[in-house]
Copies of this chain bind each other. A is one copy, B any other.
Amino acid sequence: MKLTSKGRYAVMALVDLARFDNINPVSLRDISLRQGISLDYLEQIFSKLKKNEIVKSIRGTQGGYVLNKNPNDIKLTNIFHAVDEKVKTVQCKKESKKGCNGKATKCITHNLWDELEVHINTFFENKSLKDLLNNNKETRV
């Protein structure tokens, strides 16, 4: 299973973006400074977010990024998926007709990982950017 800094950065950056994009597009430079994330790395991440239509870009001076959807419609599952954080448990190989061990049957724990995956994905599907915004306002600095 993968759930690393890239995913966390993506979420942090989007929450930041959501808080500031009412007025103007938000530049990655600003996000980088506020959140302490490398600019170059942010560019990689936003490239993926854009491809997945989570954000829109505006080029040129005063340009930046804006959300492409309502914060309520951006679920965590969308964000993680966009930056290739596959919320997949370690997989048994799904090749041809063979089972998990190269044997003809499913491995002993196959069902377990399926269950876990559902469990985690449920969490992510029920959590939107808006939820995080609200949550953050409460404990705002």
Chain A interfacial positions (CB closer than 8 Å to B): 1-5, 7-8, 11-12, 15-16, 35-36, 89-90, 101-109, 111-113, 115-116, 119-120, 123, 127, 132, 135-136, 139, 141
Contact = CB atoms under 8 A, between A and B. Distances in A.
A109 B11 contact: yes
A36 B119 CA distance: 28
Contacts of A111: 135, 139
Copies of this subunit: 2
B112 A132 contact: yes
B90 A5 contact: yes
A62 B12 CA distance: 56
A83 B132 CA distance: 33
A11 B105 contact: no
A19 to B, nearest CB: 9
Contact of A15 (B4, B105, B108, B113): B108
A2 B111 CA distance: 19
B108 A116 contact: no
Contacts of A120: 116, 119-120
Contact of A109 (B12, B89, B113, B141): B12
Contacts of A116: 120, 123
A16 B108 CA distance: 8
